[in-house]
Amino acid sequence: MKKKLQRVAAGALIVSSIAALCGCGQKTSDKDEQGRTVISVGGWPLSEGKSLDAMNQRKETFEKENPDVFVKGDSWSFSIDTFYAKAAGGTLPTVYSTNFTELAQIISSGYSADLTDVLKKRGYDGKFNPAILDLASKDGKVYSFPTSAYILGLGYNTELFEQAGLMEADGTPKQPKDWDEVAEFAKIIKEKTGKAGIVFPTAGNQGGWMFTPLAYSYGVEFVKKGEDGKWTAAFNTPECVEALQWVKDLKWKHNVVPENVTIDADKYYELFSTGQAAMMIAPGNYSDYVIQYGMTPDQLGIMAYPAGPKRHVTLVGGELQSVTSKATDDQVDAAVRWIETKCNYQATDAFKQTTQNNIEKKLSDNVIVGIKGMSVWNRDTESVAYENDLIDQKCNINPNHVKLYNDFVQNPCELQAEVPVCAQELYKILDNCITSVFSDENADCAAIIEKACKDFQMDYLDNVDY
Amino acid sequence: MKISVKNNKTKRIFGKQIVPWLLICPLIIVLYLAVWRPTVIGAFWSFFKMNAYNPGRFVGLENYKLVISNSQFFLILCNTMMYVFWSLVIGFIPPLAIAIMINEMVHLKSQMRVVMYLPAVIPGIAAMLIWARMYDPSSSGLLNMLLARFGIDAFGWLDNPKFTIIGIVLYMTWSGFAGTMLLYYATVQGISSELYEAALIDGAGPLRRCWHVTLPQMSGILLLNLVRQIIGVFQVMEQPLAMTDGGPNGASASLSYQLYLYGFKSSGQRTGQAMALGVIIFLILLVLTCFYFWLNRKVENNF
């Protein structure tokens, strides 16, 4: 009897473990029993709270207006570490958000569905801002729905600026026009407050990413594509050396940066938001990142991105919504309708509700409300007007702190697309260049750039398609 | 007739042992899915051009060539060896010394054991971040504040390319010595007291007792731990990832950290090279592991 029991127990163990294994491979159809199209939505909040309530409300309103669709939450949200594994395993949610840096690679890997037809059908022709739509397209087809766009500006600590006398009485900061003025401002701040004037990142690819627009403004071109389709690293130029020299001077000539040599994205935001540095290059939504260190919205400001000796350019950051390439036509259509509840050129009720909820959440999280994003639309739309009005109404800071940035967004400089090939690897190599000049007073900028260019060519560009 | 012979054979293998086999099954399945299958497939796919995580065309040794010809490869290989070297210099003696020390203590023995084990209880990443804080190169870093007390200038710590590996190894020693110490402690406790009594009668002091009785009795486990430590430290990855990002300028990047970059930070472009590097690390460790097993057998025969 005992033996039999043992066997039964062992058998049950095996059956259950096999069943558990088989469970993972189930295929789902795009319809549920009631014939509704099922879409899963990434980034669904996991924990109880305001975000989840807002999401559920959004789902409820959406399903009432679109009775043929059923929305399922998926708690995975985009990260470059997990994206490609999930995509290869076919387990991406139907709708996922992504960012401008990674999008080109996602499109060429074929994991983002072609939205051109659905967008055309739903009347989006000519509606998007062409500069931004370009970043979401390949060969004339649109692969992603841009929902928010933030250009890089110059973030600053309002208290340190005030102490350094770099602020008007009404709270409008003085704007450094170019990089030399940025260095001058940093010197004044260091002198008056004893804090570092500016922080520049050096690690985790953040330094490289921040260095590229600086170098573009000096007239650098990072890569060139030959007629034979081969890529050449082209930043071995005096302009690029000059840009790196500017970074080096911050430390050794002006002594206006923090002592840290390794500064990744987290450290970058931490140094700024703990008041150890007064300026940082940052996207318009940067207050999302700095509040976790206890900075209040009042201490934060942002203004326009400085110009370089050759060009005035900045990078676009922000969010796009993609649809997995595994989606059926019905799902793509439903997914675009879902995205419209968040980003729409018409101020629909669903859009208004989502926008209100977002702003309420920002207020309760103590994030700045007052910075306006760049419109993804071609001209003033009623949705943008609605959102901007709401931002003005709910603004929780002195609007003059961010006025220069909001003006800059209305009337921006050139928008630069990111390096189209091996961008992350280039950023890593540039990280090393910055670390080198920060850790060695006698570092030779020309030699460093020369080596970086050679390494980038040999290690990466020469075998883009091996 | 034939069938019954076959049945007999199956019976001999599984026969009465069917229950143990069934019970071991879940473990085998998990090991197969999580270790054996990916290892074999990874090694196989390292000869293919990978499109993110799907194999494309066969490219032979191209992935290996790319890994080894990368301008950073030898720097990173040397770094990895430096980790092993410093971990032996810094980290090998403390657990042994502390184990013997606790064994010799008369009072507060068990309390001391608990206190010494505490570092192993702190979650890894949290401890790494705390250490990175202590090493902060600005004047507000804990260690630099201590230096300032003695009027010494601030030091770069992990930002100093010459110190960064040593700094990480110091953390690894701190966080890892407790487990090894307990192992040594158990061995020390197991040494027959007759040997010590004999040594006492011969007039040996504490140091001579340690040298002539304790250490020879422990040489087996010391050797095994030496090899285990070499293998373990050779795979160092999360410490540079969390504490330095492999910096400054790649000075603390290790082979496993590079593998992580290839696998997860290359937008799916270099997964093939990640697999090739995985095989390279595997081969290096295979040699060390064979040595470990050979040593293990020897040790077991001798002691």
Of A3, A109, A463, the CB nearest to B268: A109
How much is the pLDDT for A406? 92
Chain B contact present for A17, CB below 8 A: yes
| pLDDT tens digits, one per residue of B228-262 | 899 999 999 999 998 888 878 889 999 999 999 99
What is the least distance, in Å, from the CA of A455 to any CA of chain B?
Answer: 7
**Which residues in chain B are contacts of A455 at CB distance < 8 A?**
71-72
| pLDDT tens digits, one per residue of A306-351 | 999 999 999 988 889 999 999 999 999 999 999 988 888 888 888 8
How much is the pLDDT for A123? 87
The residue ranking higher by pLDDT, A330 or B220, is: A330
- Cβ–Cβ gap A109/B52 under 8 Å: yes
Q: Say whether pLDDT at B5 is over 60.
A: no
How much is the pLDDT for B8? 61
Of B19, B71, B271, the CB nearest to A458: B71
Calculate mean pLDDT across residues A151-172: 93
How much is the pLDDT for A81? 86
Residue B40's CB is within 10 A of a number of other CB atoms, namely 11
- Weakest-pLDDT range from A54-58, A186-190, A220-224, B28-32: A54-58
Calculate mean pLDDT across residues B113-119: 88
Decide if A35-150+318-364 and A152-315+410-463 have a common fold.
yes
Q: Say whether pLDDT at A17 is over 60.
A: no
The residue ranking higher by pLDDT, A304 or B220, is: A304
pTM: 0.83
Average pLDDT value over all residues in chain A: 88
Chain A segment 272-331 residues within 8 A of B by beta carbon are 276
- Cβ–Cβ gap B267/A13 under 8 Å: no
Q: Nearest chain A Cα to B250, which residue?
A: A432
- Cβ–Cβ gap B159/A439 under 8 Å: yes
Chain A segment 205-224 residues within 8 A of B by beta carbon are 205
How much is the pLDDT for A23? 43
- Cβ–Cβ gap A88/B54 under 8 Å: yes
Of B18, B53, B249, the CB nearest to A432: B249
- Best of B53, B249, B264 to disrupt the A interface (most A CBs within 10 Å) is B249
Calculate mean pLDDT across residues B267-296: 89
| pLDDT tens digits, one per residue of A418-459 | 888 888 889 999 999 999 999 889 999 999 999 999 999 999
Which H helix or E strand runs over A403? helix A400-410
**Which residues in chain A are contacts of B66 at CB distance < 8 A?**
463, 466
Show me where the domains of chain A are located.
35-150+318-364, 152-315+410-463
Calculate mean pLDDT across residues A112-125: 91
How much is the pLDDT for A26? 42
How much is the pLDDT for A295? 87
Q: Nearest chain A Cα to B260, which residue?
A: A81
DSSP secondary structure string for all residues of chain B? -HHHHHHHHHHHHTGGGHHHHHHHHHHHHHHIIIIIHHHHHHHHHTTEEEETTEEEEE-TTHHHHHHHHSTTHHHHHHHHHHHHHHHHHHHSHHHHHHHHHHHH--SSHHHHHHHHHGGGGS-HHHHHHHHHHHT-SSTTSHHHHHHHHTTPPP--GGGSTTTHHHHHHHHHHHHHHHHHHHHHHHHHHHS-HHHHHHHHHTT--HHHHIIIIIHHHHHHHHHHHHHHHHHHHHT--HHHHHHTTT-STTTT--HHHHHHHHHHSSTTSSHHHHHHHHHHHHHHHHHHHHHHHHHHHHHHHH-
Structure-token pair, residue A229: 């389709």
**CATH architecture observed for domain A35-150+318-364:** 3-Layer(aba) Sandwich (3.40)
**Which residues in chain A are contacts of B29 at CB distance < 8 A?**
17-18, 21
Calculate mean pLDDT across residues A94-99: 93
| pLDDT tens digits, one per residue of A347-374 | 888 889 889 988 998 898 888 999 988 8
User: Could you give the CA distance from residue B57 to residue A7 in angstroms, rounded to a whole number?
Assistant: 47
How much is the pLDDT for B7? 58
| pLDDT tens digits, one per residue of B53-96 | 888 899 999 999 999 999 999 999 999 999 999 999 998 988 99
Percent of chain B with pLDDT over 90: 40
The CATH homologous superfamily to which domain A152-315+410-463 belongs is: Periplasmic binding protein-like II (3.40.190.10)
Q: What number is the ipTM of this complex?
A: 0.80
All domains of chain B, ordered by start, with CATH? 2-45 (no CATH), 64-302 (1.10.3720.10)
- Cβ–Cβ gap B26/A17 under 8 Å: yes
